[in-house]
Amino acid sequence: MDGANSNQDQDNRNMDETKLTFRKYKDGDNEHLPWQEEIFTADESHKCPTYVHRTPPCQGSCPAGEDIRGWLNIARGIEKAPDGMNWQEYAFYRLSDSNPMPAIMGRVCPAPCEDGCNRNEVEDHVGINAVEQYIGDYALEHGLKLRDAGPDTGKKIACIGGGPASLAAAYQLRRMGHGVTILDSHDELGGMMRYGIPGYRTPRDVLDGEIQRILDMGVETRMNTKVGVDISMDDLRKEFDAIFVGVGAQSGTALPIPGGDAPNCISGIAFLEAFNDGRLKHGAEKVLVIGGGDTAMDVAAVARRLGHITKSHEKDRPETVVLGHVVHDVATVANRQGAEVTIVYRRPVEKMPATKMEIEHVTQEGVQIRSSLAPVSVVVGEDGRATALRVQEVEWEGNNMTVKETPEFDIECDLIVAAIGQVADLTGMEYLDNGRGLITADPFYRAKDHEDIFVGGDIIKPHLLTTAIGHASVAAEGIDHILSGKEPSKRPKVDKHHYDLLEKLQEVHLEPAEYDHVQATGTDAATYAVHNYEDRSHVEIVPADELFLGHWTYDARRKRKEKHIGPDAVLGHFEERILGLSEEEAQQEADRCMSCGMCVECDNCVIYCPQDAIYRVAKDQRTMGRYVETDYNKCIGCHICEDVCPSGYIQMGLGE
């Protein structure tokens, strides 16, 4: 081995040893826990273990409420698929219970679940998005269908808008057996997934495949139909039993500074829609993008890819195309050259709301980011068009901005794209407008003062695509309650798609026997109950400090490969940048999941119990969440099982 390799290996070992260092107690710790948790006589206590199912923080952080731990445990092989079904199909069904579009969400969701992942306390989060993309892509490649629609209820619901909120609502409502019709003003469904995010991030074959699966459940559509213009809300309310409004917020906010109404000052939403529907083939030579969110990053990345045409007619100016007056001739693409693109943001770069990966990508592609600059005005030429953006340097202390005592200066441009906010077009539905161009909803996502109208997605507050999917699930349940003549029931504290042990027991034909309601003793062996198991998933999220993190060794995350696109290669590059994991990589990454709040089947409690009180459930009675039991005649309450449980599944509480 040569010296260079030897040094590198030693560096890696040193890094790994640092990451592997986990100590439950630090030097100087001498405070005991609360006495009620430390009532010991010698090595005994009055508390014995019970097995407590709680929500993992990844799921708690997921706006769609996916059972992430569940489908990761399926991928890693802990939870077995039913006979005749492979793990990918079983994982797809578990994943799509909450999210019918995993291939798209696995690509574009900024993954707040990964921020919440307890594995961050060991070395790095689990690559949840990467595994989700693999499962979604597998489902499309192998033609997997969504679950069948439920028995017909005879009820009909109109879903206004064709984006993720309405599509997810339609999916959930069809599973309940209700008839659904989606009405959308575009030629094709998809909403912001199609018209707001560049196609190289949401590939059209992937998007079309995931939408078609929903339509195949019997969802009807009325395209090129704008509610409030082509059909009134009053007519819809006569035709349908309930209405779901998921129109999104597809109108950009104007630039609120002097000169911001110049013709070549356009919104980021309009710019991206013109690009995504094929009208905009080239941009401008010097483009300024104002904003720091994902929309701003998408605009900047597209502007770099589009480039500009040196000699073009007035009618070919980008703003003319964006406003819908003309469509670029595809033949002009051969003559386009690179564009100089700059993002201007009021706050420091580290405060940008855009995902870190998107910021890194646009920087690699040659976009310049100029932060801590406040737009003052748009400099307008004799023809009324913007020629520059006048800015002022600012500094921040917390959320307080102070203008620096430095001269204002101009940044030259040919096109200004403002990505600073979104509002909805509520033409014909003005009575739902809360005064901010959005709709106010109650906890059930029912429109204020309209019990038959439910809402979801950006129309409530612009956020993530996966947030819209989460709204849709709750709204669909509310609609189902209303159509059944009941008020929507109180939502749980942890409002997610939870793993249900009873459903699992029924699936594997281990459901409890029928209870005869006769008073009896010795019920700890009765077959009509699930013993020493408690489900707190609706009220508790398991924190990292209740896990035995020392169980987990350093295991580097399997990252998806990326095509490197430098400044010289970005022009005309419209291929997907991120490459998916292989099956082996997806399973290896899933195996890093710590199964927080659910038994990881590691045998630690069985091995370390000094009384042999904990034992495995018989194989023919075993399933996910029913792997070990306790003989309470042997248990002395020593707490060792709780201490060595890597997933926080064992709690000392029986006996209180």
156-250+424-483 with 252-421: one CATH topology? yes
Q: Please, are residues 354 and 294 in contact by the beta-carbon 8 Å criterion?
A: yes
Q: Residue 263 and residue 270: Cα distance in Å, rounded?
A: 13
Q: What are phi and psi of 30, to 5 degrees?
A: -140, 10
Q: What are phi and psi of 616, to 5 degrees?
A: -75, 145
Question: By three-state DSSP, how is residue 600 classified?
Answer: coil
645's tokens: 């449980």
Domain ranges of the chain: 31-54+500-536+597-656, 156-250+424-483, 252-421
Q: What are phi and psi of 644, to 5 degrees?
A: -100, 5
489's tokens: 């029931």
pLDDT beneath 50: ranges in the chain: 1-17
- pLDDT at residue 312, rounded to an integer: 63
Residue with the two structure tokens 């990454």: 589
CATH topology of domain 252-421: FAD/NAD(P)-binding domain (3.50.50)
CATH topology of domain 31-54+500-536+597-656: Alpha-Beta Plaits (3.30.70)
pLDDT tens, residue by residue, 553-581: 999 999 999 998 999 999 999 999 999 99
- pLDDT at residue 310, rounded to an integer: 73
Rounded (10°) CA dihedral 41, 44, 49, 54: 50
Q: Residue 626 and residue 623: Cα distance in Å, rounded?
A: 5
Q: 435: burial class by Cβ within 10 Å (0-12, 13-18, 19+)?
A: exposed
Helices assigned H by DSSP within 196-293: 204-215, 233-239, 268-276
Cα distances from 603 to residues 310, 600, 606, 609, in angstroms, run 69, 8, 5, 10
Largest CA distance in the chain: 93
Residue with the two structure tokens 């998916």: 580
Rg of the chain over all Cα atoms, to the nearest angstrom: 28
Q: Angle 411-412-414 (CA atoms, 0-180°, nearest 5)?
A: 135
pLDDT tens, residue by residue, 157-180: 999 999 999 999 999 999 999 999
Give the closest residue to 284 by CA, choosing from 339, 231, 228. Answer: 339
Q: Dihedral of CA 127/129/132/138: which sign?
A: negative
Rounded (10°) CA dihedral 130, 132, 135, 136: -110
Q: Which CATH number fits domain 156-250+424-483: 3.40.50.2300, 3.40.1110.10, 3.40.50.12780, 3.50.50.60?
A: 3.50.50.60
- pLDDT at residue 334, rounded to an integer: 58
- pLDDT at residue 619, rounded to an integer: 93
- pLDDT at residue 19, rounded to an integer: 54
Q: Dihedral of CA 592/597/598/602: which sign?
A: positive
Q: Angle 497-498-502 (CA atoms, 0-180°, nearest 5)?
A: 130
